[in-house]
Chains A and B, each alone.
Chain A
Amino acid sequence: MDVLGQLAAGFGVILTPANLYYCFLGSLVGTLVGVLPGIGPLAALSLLLPFTFTLPPVASLVMLAAIFYGAMYGGSTTSILVNIPGEAASVVTCLDGHEMAKQGRAGAALGIAAIGSFIAGTLSNIGLTLFSPVLVAVALRFGPPEYFAIMILGFVMTLYMVAGSALKAMVMLALGVFLSTVGMDIVNGAERFTFGSVNLAGGFDLVPVVMGLFGVSEILLNVEQFARGEVFSRRIRRLLPTFRDWLDSWAPILRGSFLGFGLGVLPGGGPVTASFLSYAVERRLSRRPERFGHGAIEGVAGPESANNAAVAGSMIPLLSLGLPSNAVTALLLGALIIQGVQPGPMLMVQRPEIFWGVIASLYVGNVMLLILNLPLIGLWVQLLRVPYRILFPCVLLLTVIGTYSVNHNVFDVWVMIGFGLAGYVVRKLGYELAPLVLAMVLGPLLEQALRQSLIMSSGNPAIFMTRPIAATIVLLAAALAAVLVLRGKRLALAAQPTVEGSS
């Protein structure tokens, strides 16, 4: 079939003043909402969902999709500026992005995040346009054993991203897995670690935990340190990435794009996993991994590209299978169904104007977001001039609102406070919190895939080795783990008590 012809028809659908307007509106709202801590794409979409009811289907989807990736663009902003992730996929961006900002290179970090996102988004759209049917066929071959293998690989890769003490990282990983098991057992509904509490029965949501560990603890650390004056003593240097930055970034952006796209296609992966793995890969491949955590631009370029690529990737199972791979695409699915559009293999046949229109809008939206975000960098950087004594109460209030709005439950605010205090203490002791977040995301997927697989095989673990895809991935993970163990001694001993936070 003539893909390009159909894509052109899709552009014909999109390039009307009304649709362009909604695309722009979505990009703008998504960016602004993504910037607010605690209010990620999910909250943004659910807030604006009712508004789109009154729009025609194409306009409504174009706008919602634009909000989604607009929020991914915006999510990195607070990570870089105030070290508080706008949403979970931007957690890793804090590691080097904020360091860059402290060195006066906030503009470069924001710039590379926007441009990397643009390149990754566009490349993934091309992948989406050309290879959708093939990728769907591949994704369908991934059953529970294959997912289990992927999750194992994810955990092994996480160990590569750790800069400080390996023991501390292990504790954080295990803690993340443990936290993810609190609440109802996903397989048999048994209550675990709830102690009869209604609130704990639902388990810990990611948003309050992330807002506590990163938002509240960051504010506590800063309030303690900055007796008066500002977070950034140095002057802000140039706003755009330098030639040197480009040299460092182009490869991470490309790798991040591929990694993110691939993970996005697979249900369960999504932007969070993609950004973490990209960071781990970049650190592993870097000739000077010691720069990571101290303002390495690759640590911003890779993950930010990966999470945007994952957004485009996750459109494939959504549009072709009607399968949402994360909470955000689940919401998009709801929006489609409200519009009377049934995603699935027939969408391309029955409603080509919607299928290709949405894909065309992804291209257009990416261009818009780039144009929108580059000038905004100047504005965001000015935000750093706001005295911290004024900035932090506002940010604190925003995190409370964001956390509360997830479930409309004050219990989540308590969770945030608790994790804020805990995060403050362990960060002072040189623990890295990013692995905990990843473990919380991957933990339930890992457990479910493991138990599903063994139920399918009546308890026989050979299922992971008899299926070619699963076996390949498991072997790869084992090899990577072996390398790690061989180098491990050196790594564990060389681990200095990191200066992070406590200096």
Chain B
Amino acid sequence: MRRVAALLSLVLLLGAVPAFADSVAETRSRLAALKPADYPTQPIEFVVVYPAGGGMDTTARLLAKYVEKYADHRVIVVNKTGGAGFIGHTYLATQAKNDGYTVGILANGAWTDAILKAKGKWSHTNFEAVSFVNYAPVTWIASTEGRFKNRSLKDVAATIKAEPGTVKVAIVPSISFEFLAEQVETAAGGTLVKVPFQGGAPGVTALLGGHVDIATGFLSEYRGHLEAGKVKVLAAAAERRTPDMPQVSTFNEVLGVKNMVWSAWRFAAVPRGVPADRKKYLEAALTAALRDPELQAEYRKTGSIVESPYASGAQVDAAIDKFAVLEREFFTTTGRLPK
């Protein structure tokens, strides 16, 4: 018995079963082995293209904190904001140095901006992904006292068809919230009254006040009201049901389509051309942080899903290519882009 234990600990020490053996000290030393001699000598900047305090900002700041836990240097978060993220995206794609000191903590907006706004000056391939971070699906919620209190998404779709132009849904213009509403209109065969808000939370408040019938948002924006029984989730715009809301159906399964997949899909990326050893080191540092159970727990608390299906930055790049193709298709069919 004792010998087995000794053998086991030897195996653990050698790192043959790293999934179980990752103590902080070991991860640190493995990371230190990957560290290039001349990098990093100054703080690494995590660039967030949205304002401080928002979902992206908290994601990045938590990540920075845990990267510092494993890597022995400062990581600071810089909010390069403006133009709903476009200024920061353009900066990262065209101006930021590819020396590995600038890392963008990005989301869908990075490729949506590339498709819709960059006018060919840059594309999502100007970034190279370092790591997937987490994601949260876009959802529809209804008030438990309002018009759709005892209804499902199917009923809502039927109402949209039967009484077009009467169902008020809170959206945020020009992002997934609006795109999803348009897809529902198409699928249901009717029209919605799309009331524009600046963000999910004001829409949720308008829902509680009875000013709209449905609100669009992420779990983090209404979790308090969900727990208080004031709102209920109608459906999630995810490929499959999510682990934190297994009872909630997806838009795809209810409406019998495949393309209603919208989320805040967050990843870390560097400007193209960062030296291979630096990028590899960054990948390892971020992966170490993202595997930390404490960070995962923090992300779950914010309503995000942390399980990563991607093993490397290259796989993340491939996933983004796929998303970009699908989205371009949606924009061409809805007339946002010329055919």
Contact = CB atoms under 8 A, between A and B. Distances in A.
Interface of A: 42, 45-46, 49-50, 53, 140-144, 183-184, 186-189, 198-199, 201-203, 205, 267, 317, 321-324, 327, 330-335, 337-338, 340, 342-347, 349-350, 406-409, 448, 451-452, 455-456, 458
Interface in B70-114: 77-84, 86-87, 90
Interface stretch (B225-233, B241-249, B305-313): B225-233
B292 to A, nearest CB: 14
Nearest to A408: B80
A184 B84 contact: yes
Contact of A322 (B87, B193, B222): B222
B83 A198 contact: yes
Contacts of A141: 209
Contact of A202 (B87, B205, B208): B87
A189 B83 CA distance: 10
B302 interface: yes
A323 B82 contact: no
B42 interface: no
B202 interface: yes
Contacts of A202: 81-84, 86-87
Contact of B52 (A142, A334, A342, A349): A334
A416 to B, nearest CB: 15
A407 B224 contact: no
Nearest to A335: B53
A406 B194 CA distance: 32
Q: Nearest 9 A-B pairs (CB), nearest first?
A: A344-B224, A202-B82, A331-B53, A189-B174, A334-B53, A143-B211, A46-B52, A202-B83, A140-B209
A50 B65 contact: yes
Contacts of A327: 51, 53
B291 interface: no
A408 to B, nearest CB: 5
A342 B223 contact: yes
B173 interface: yes
B82 A407 contact: yes
Nearest to A345: B228
B290 interface: no
Given A50-B64, A349-B228, 8 more contacts: A46-B52, A49-B61, A198-B87, A199-B87, A321-B208, A334-B52, A347-B224, A406-B81
B264 interface: no
A49 B193 CA distance: 39
B79 to A, nearest CB: 7
A186 B90 contact: no
B52 A323 contact: no
B65 A448 contact: no
Interface of B: 51-55, 57-58, 61-62, 64-65, 77-84, 86-87, 90, 117, 165, 168, 173-174, 193-198, 201-202, 204-206, 208-212, 220-225, 227-228, 230, 298, 301-302
A393 B172 CA distance: 43
A458 B193 contact: yes
B79 A46 contact: yes
Contacts of A331: 52-53
A337 B302 contact: yes
Given A46-B53, A49-B52, A407 B174 contact: no
Contact of A323 (B64, B77, B205, B301): B205
B51 A187 contact: no
Chain A binding site: helix, strand, loop or mixed by DSSP?
helix
Nearest to B227: A346
Contact of B224 (A49, A203, A340, A345): A345
Contacts of B61: 49-50, 53, 338
Given A141-B209, A452-B197, A342 B79 contact: no
B228 A188 contact: no
A409 to B, nearest CB: 6
Contact of A321 (B55, B58, B205): B205
A88 to B, nearest CB: 15
A428 to B, nearest CB: 31
A201 B54 contact: no
Nearest to B302: A337
7 contacts: A199-B82, A203-B82, A338-B58, A338-B61, A345-B225, A407-B81, A452-B196
A187 B86 CA distance: 17
A188 to B, nearest CB: 6
A456 B193 contact: yes
A258 B17 CA distance: 64
A458 B165 CA distance: 9
A158 B195 CA distance: 29
B64 to A, nearest CB: 7
Nearest to A325: B202
Given A187-B173, A342-B227, A455-B194, A201 B83 contact: yes
B297 to A, nearest CB: 8
A184 B83 contact: yes
B201 A324 contact: yes
B82 A322 contact: no
Nearest to A199: B87
A267 B205 contact: yes
Contacts of A317: 205
A317 B301 CA distance: 21
Given A140-B205, A188-B174, A322-B201, A338 B87 contact: no
Contacts of A458: 165, 193
A189 B197 CA distance: 12
Contacts of A448: 196, 198
Contacts of B51: 327, 330
A141 B206 CA distance: 9
A184 B113 CA distance: 13
B301 A344 contact: no
Scoring A45, A321, A324, A345 by chain B CB atoms within 10 A of each residue's CB, the highest score goes to A321
